[in-house]
């Protein structure tokens, strides 16, 4: 069975520029997320198949992001999540 190519961190734009990566919960995807979060000085954590957003950890809350959603990082290093549908309607990849 052929494996789908794994996504990589890419730059997207709307009214502002940000980085984004879609969460797929594979070993390779987990490694990409860990490296990406580390670049921003943040620890990557999951709970089962869901990602725990670092900004929410700081606030004492736990935002769990399910498989298939996008995790975005602003140029200021703030992470947040967005559904696939909303992300695709809002952002376009920067070539």
Q: How many residues does the chain have?
A: 95
What are the DSSP calls for the chain, one per residue? -PPPPPP--EEEESSSEEEEEE----HHHHHHHHHHHHHTT---EEETTEEEPHHHHHTT---EE-TT-EEEEETTS-EEEE-HHHHHHH-EE--
pLDDT for 53: 84
Pairing type for strands 10-13 and 17-22 reads antiparallel
- What tens digit of pLDDT does each residue of 15-55 get? 667 889 999 999 999 999 999 999 989 889 999 999 988 76
pLDDT for 12: 74
């Amino acid at each position: 069975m052929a494996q789908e190519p794994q996504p990589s961190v890419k730059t997207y734009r709307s009214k502002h520029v940000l980085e984004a990566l879609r969460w797929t919960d594979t070993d390779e995807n987990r490694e990409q997320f860990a490296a990406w979060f580390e670049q921003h000085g943040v620890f990557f954590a999951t709970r089962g198949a869901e990602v725990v957003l670092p900004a929410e950890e700081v606030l004492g809350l736990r935002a769990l992001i399910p498989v298939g959603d996008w995790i975005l990082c602003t140029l200021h290093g703030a992470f947040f999540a967005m559904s696939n549908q909303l992300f695709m309607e809002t952002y376009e990849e920067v070539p």
